[in-house]
Amino acid sequence: MSYRLLIRPEAELDIQDAFEWYEAQSLGLGSEFVRAVDTCLSGIGRDPLAYPIIYKQARRALVRRFPYGILYVFDQDIITVIACFHGKRNPKPWKDRL
């Protein structure tokens, strides 16, 4: 089954901010981060129920190699990405997005 993937503007900003930070650390690292996020999103798209619910209806898929998680809500055939957050950050900002 194919699912519709929607990425909220706030989540796009999260990804952009992390890209810029990693790119500032080492040229090309930001691009590697974006590729890892794309791979994670592909996994979510293949099987959105494979990842655990961590808060209310929000699920989290971990980004390989980077300490980030993709937080999303799955409802019928729509996957809505609500955040891309560093694992050590306070979760309140993304919880407020639900």
Q: What percent of the chain has pLDDT over 90?
A: 88
pLDDT digit string, tens, across residues 31-65: 999 999 999 999 999 999 999 999 999 999 999 99
CATH number (domain holding residue 41): 3.30.2310.20
Residue type, 59: R
Q: Cα–Cα distance between 23 and 1 in angstroms, integer? A: 36
Q: Are 74 and 56 in contact (CB under 8 A)?
A: no
User: Model's pTM, two decimal places?
Assistant: 0.93
Q: Are 91 and 55 in contact (CB under 8 A)?
A: yes
DSSP, res 2:
-
Q: Are 47 and 31 in contact (CB under 8 A)?
A: no
Range of the domain at 78: 4-95
Please tell me the total count of domains within the chain: 1
